[in-house]
Amino acid sequence: MPSIAREEQETAVAALPTSRRSVFLHALGQIALIAVGVFLGLAADQWRERQQHRDAALASLRRFRAEVAENRRAVAAVRDYHVATLASVRSYLGKDHRTRNVADVKINGLQWVTFEHTAWDLALATQSLTYLDSDLAYALSRVYGVQQSYGDLTRGMTQAMYVLAPQENFDGFAQAVDTFLGDVTYMEPRLLTMYDEVLPRIDRALGASGTAR
């Protein structure tokens, strides 16, 4: 049943002279077209924005996938060496000072990992991290956080090497290496586990988007 307001509007329109009624209806049509145009324009803007966010997320995922895989390869390449070197250093330090022999320590450099982090830095700079699934973004944040801690250890060891030159104070140097590699050999298996968990999640996110790796 038509409302009273609608009946009054129809009555008012019907009461107008034909020429004025035609102008009135034309104006109403123009207003309706403008409203539809504005609505479609806003809808198109929203679609473009969503598409831009999706493209940014996919680009970030591809960069993260390559970077995380490279960092995993770097950690896996030195993990066993670090375990063996730590065992050699601790064997040396476990002996009496009078029986220690520097030649027994097998050290071929410390071979720490220098992590790639360009994908992370770019995601933060462009805010594209906010376009990713929140759980995946959290997992990536944890990975890069552990890598940052590893990097902090590396910088600390670098400074110690200038203070405790092995040629001048090998025992002090060995103790610093013991501490450094003790932490590193704890962190590296943890990182490998985190990599192995996050990489399939990135692959699934890329696959769900129909993007080939």
pLDDT digits (tens, 9 = 90+) for 134-156: 999 999 999 999 999 999 999 99
* C-alpha to C-alpha distance for 88 and 8, rounded to whole angstroms: 97
pLDDT at 32 over 60: yes
Element counts in the chain: helices (H) and strands (E): 5, 0
Q: How many angstroms separate the Cα of 33 from the Cα of each of 23, 29, 40, 42? A: 15, 6, 10, 14
Nearest by Cα to 138 from 147, 149, 130, 150: 130
Mean pLDDT throughout 181-201? 97
Predicted confidence band of residue 212 (pLDDT cuts 50, 70, 90): very low
pTM of the model: 0.74
State the sign of the Cα–Cα–Cα–Cα dihedral 39, 40, 41, 44: positive
pLDDT at 11 over 90: no
DSSP class of residue 115 equals -
Mean pLDDT throughout 9-24? 59
Q: How far apart are the first and last CA of the chain?
A: 60
The 10s digit of each residue's pLDDT in 74-103 is 999 999 999 999 999 999 999 998 899 988
